[in-house]
Amino acid sequence: MTNGARTVRTAAAAVLAAVIGTAVFGHVRAAVPDMVPMPKTYQQTGGTFELGGKPIFIEPGNRQCEIAADEIALRISELGGRPGEIGPVDSAASPGVYVLPVTSAALQPLSARAPLRVTAQDPGPQGYVIETTRDRLLIVGSDNIGALYGAMTLRQMMARDAAGRVFMAAARVYDKPDYHYRGSMGFDRGLRRLGGKTADYEEGFNLMMRFKMNLIGDYQYYLDPRQVSADRRAFYRKMNAYAKERGIYATRGQDDVRLLGELDKDRPEFKDWDCVRSTGGAKRRFCWSKDDLTRERANTLLDLTKDCGFSVFFLHPIDGGGIKDPELWSRRCDGCKKRFGDDRWKASAHQFNLWAEVMREKGLDDVIFTIPIYPYSAGHFWAEGRTDKESEPARKNAIEYYRNLHPLLDPSVVPMVWMAPPDRMARFFDAFKGRPVAIYAHSIRVCGYFGTWHRYNKTNYRGDPRDIFLRAAGNLPDDGMKWMNQLCSVEFGWNTEAPGSEVFDKIRYDVEYDHTEPKEIMDVWVPRACRAFFGPEVGNRIAPIYQAGVLPMYIENPAEGVAIANKYRRKAKPGATDPGETQGGERIATYISHTAERMARQVAATRRALDALESALPHLDTIDKYKRLTFLYYYRNMPQWHLLAKARHAQQLAAEQVEAGHTAAAEQTLRKARVELEKDRACAKRILDATKDEPNLPKIDKLRERVAQIDKILTPPRQANNQARSVK
C-alpha cells in the first residue's frame, strides 16, 4: 500500500471529520468511527462491508489471532448481529474476515487479490493494515500483536444500521505506535477496583487491550518476595499469562538494591553495618562490594519475577543524597573505597551487572531490565561546558557519571530518567547511545481527576519505538475508575503528533490550563473517547464531566490545592534530582490564590458535571458493569463536591465581604448558603442512598466527613470573623 496508491488521511484530518460528524466518500456518506487511539492513516474507500454472518479466518494455533477473532465475534454480538464461524485459513478464495500476521503462508494469495503490502518492518512491530474488498476484510499485522491490534481497531469501526445489520465503512487503515510501551495501569490499586475476582481482572486486561494500553504494574510492590504467598504467586502467574497473550507487559516494580529487609533484621551479618543505611529507616542496608549478599537479594527477587511471569523488572538504586552526595556515596564502607575508589560509576556498573548476570542465569533474557540512573534528572546537563565551582557537582556526579557508566553497563540495562526539556534529554540519550530509555513522566500530583498533560508525550520522543513511556502524571487513588486519563496517555503515546500535542518546556502542571485546554483535546478528543469507551448513549452525555474542569482536591481543601498548584509554578531547585523538588526554586509563573471567584468556577463546573451525569443516568443499562463502576464513582462523588464547592464559595465570599467592611452582606451570604446547603445535602443523600448497594465502589468516607463538617465554615462573621476567613 504505497502513497501513490492511496490518499493519505492523517489522524488530524480524521479528528476534524469526527467533529463534523460525517464525511463524504464517493456516493457514500458515513460517520467517521470513534477510535482511540486514532490510527495513523484512515481512509474510507466508499461502500460498506457487512460483518454479520461472515466467517472469520485465522492462522491455526496463533493465540493472538484466536483472541482477535473472539473479540470480533463478541463485538458483532454486542451490536445485535450474528457472528460467523471462526476457523483456520485454508485458502484465499472464501469471502470473509481474515486476521493474520505477516508471516502467515496465506498472505501471498491474499495479496494477489488485493493491493496489500506488509512486511515485518512496515508498518513494524505492533503495526497493522486493514484493507477491504468487495467480499473480504483483511487485517494483517507486522507481528502477532499487530494482528491483534488491528482487530481491536475493527471493533471500534463497527456499527449497526437501522435494519440491524452490523457493518463497517469500507476503509484502508495503516497504523503503528510511536512508543511500543505506553499507558500504564495499576494492578492492585487499579484493576482490583473492578471487583477483585479473576473474571474482573481478565475484563480489565481486555479493556486495556481494546485501547492498546500495554503496561501494568503495582503488584504488592511493598512486600518482600518471601511475603508473597504461593496462592498469590499462582494468581499473579495466571493473570500475567493472560495479560501477555494480549500484548500487555506486567511489571515487577519498586524493588531496590537493599541487602536487608524486615525479615533479615536479626541476621548477624547485618549487625554493626559499616556501609550505607537507608535514610528512611534503620532496617535497610546497602553496599556495592558485598557480592554474596547482592546475589542473594537478586535471586530472591528474580525468583519471584520468573515464578510469576513478569515481563519487566524495575530495580531502584539507593535513593537520597541529591546531586552533592548521590546515593549517599560518601558513606560507603572501606571495602567499597578499596574496590572502587572514588569512581561511583564503577561501583554502579558492578552492582547492576550482578543483577543482569543473575537474570541470565535464570533464563530471563526476554524480561526488560530497567533501572533509574541516579541522579534521575537529565536537567543536570545545564552544567555541561561550564568550569565554575557551582556547576562541579552536576558535571561530576551526573554528566561524567552517565558517560562513564554507559560503556561498563550490561547491554540489557534500560536506563530510566525523568521527562525533561528536549535539549537536555538529547544529551542524556547521547550519554547512553544505542540503548532504549525508559522515560518516567512528570508524575505530578494534581488537583483534578482528568487533565491534558498527556499532550507532552511527544517531548522526549526521538523516533526509537523501543523507548518506554511511563504514564504522564495524574497519579491519584482509584485509578481503576479513571480510565479517561489512561486513554489520553495512550492516545498521545501511540501518536505523539496527535492533535493538541505539545513539547514540555516550562510548567509541569498548570492548574489554570491543564484541566480545560487545549480545545483539540477537550472539545474533540474527550467526546470521541467517551463515545469509544462508554458507547454513544452514555458517552455523548457524560463527556462534560471531563470537560468541566472539576478540581476535587481544591474543593475539598483549598489551601492544599493552591499549594500544589503553586508548587509547579516554580522551577526545580538547583541540584534537585526530582523535578518536583521546587521549594526554593525560581518562580516561572504567577502564583494563584484562593478566591471566591475561583471557587465560583468550581460551583459551575460541578453543576455542569452533575447535570451531565443525571442526563446519562437513564442510559446506564447500555454499558457493562465495569464501565458502570466508572460512571457511579463520579455519580456518587459529584453532588458532594458540588455541595462543598458552594459552601467554600460562600465562606470565601463572606470573608472577602468582611475584608471590604461589608459585614451585613457577609451575613446574608452565609444565611443563603445554609439554606442551599440543606437542599444540596438532600440531593447528595438521595444519590448515596440510591447507590449504596452497588458492588465494588470505592469508599468515600473521608469525603463524607468533610461534608458533615461543612456547617463549621458557614459561621456568621460577627460571631467569628476569623472562622469565616479560614480555609479548612
In the chain, where the domains are located: 3-175, 184-528, 596-725
Query: 417 — phi, psi (to 5°)?
Result: -150, 155
3-state secondary structure 532-577: HHHCHHHHHHHCHHHHCCCCHHHHHCHHHHHHHHHHCCECCCCCCC
Cell (9 digits) for 334: 572501606
| % of the chain at pLDDT higher than 70 | 91
Q: What is the pLDDT of residues 152-167, one digit of tens each?
A: 999 999 999 999 999 9
Q: What is the pLDDT of residues 410-424, one digit of tens each?
A: 999 999 999 999 999
Is 440 in contact with 470 (CB distance < 8 Å)?
yes
What is the pLDDT confidence band of residue 713, given thresholds at 50, 70 and 90?
Answer: confident
Tell me which of 251 and 29 has the higher pLDDT: 251
Entry pTM? 0.92
Domain 3-175, CATH number (from 3.30.379.10, 2.60.40.1120, 3.50.30.30, 3.40.50.920): 3.30.379.10
Residue 728 has pLDDT above 80, yes or no: no
Q: What is the pLDDT of residues 392-414, one digit of tens each?
A: 999 999 999 999 999 999 999 99
Question: What does pLDDT average to over the chain?
Answer: 90
Q: What is the pLDDT of residues 325-354, one digit of tens each?
A: 999 999 999 999 999 999 999 999 999 999
Residue 618 has pLDDT above 70, yes or no: yes
Q: What is the pLDDT of residues 538-566, one digit of tens each?
A: 999 999 999 999 999 999 999 999 999 99
What is the pLDDT confidence band of residue 476, given thresholds at 50, 70 and 90?
Answer: low
Residue 475 has pLDDT above 90, yes or no: no
Name the 3-class secondary structure at 389.
helix
What is the pLDDT confidence band of residue 708, given thresholds at 50, 70 and 90?
Answer: confident
Tell me which of 259 and 477 has the higher pLDDT: 259
What is the pLDDT confidence band of residue 472, given thresholds at 50, 70 and 90?
Answer: low
Name the 3-class secondary structure at 369.
strand
Residue 19 has pLDDT above 70, yes or no: no
Task: Encode 572-606: b = buried (16+ Cβ within 10 Å), e = exposed.
Answer: bebbbbebbbbeebeeeeeebeebbebbbbbbbbb
Residue 635 has pLDDT above 50, yes or no: yes
**What pairing do the DSSP bridges indicate for beta strands 368-372 and 312-316?**
parallel
What is the pLDDT confidence band of residue 114, given thresholds at 50, 70 and 90?
Answer: low
Tell me which of 116 and 98 has the higher pLDDT: 98
Is 474 in contact with 446 (CB distance < 8 Å)?
yes
3-state secondary structure 179-231: CCECCEEECCCCHHHHCCCHHHHHHHHHHHHHCCCCEEECCCCCCCHHHCCHH
Domain 184-528, CATH number (from 3.30.70.2740, 3.40.47.10, 3.40.50.1000, 3.20.20.80): 3.20.20.80
What is the pLDDT confidence band of residue 678, given thresholds at 50, 70 and 90?
Answer: very high
Cell (9 digits) for 653: 465570599
What is the pLDDT confidence band of residue 30, given thresholds at 50, 70 and 90?
Answer: low
| % of the chain at pLDDT higher than 90 | 77
- Prior bond to 375 cis, omega within 30? yes
Domains 3-175 and 184-528 share a fold: no
In the prediction, which pLDDT does 718 show?
55
Partner residues linked to 276 by β-bridges: 286
- Rounded to a whole number of angstroms, the CA Rg of the chain reads 28
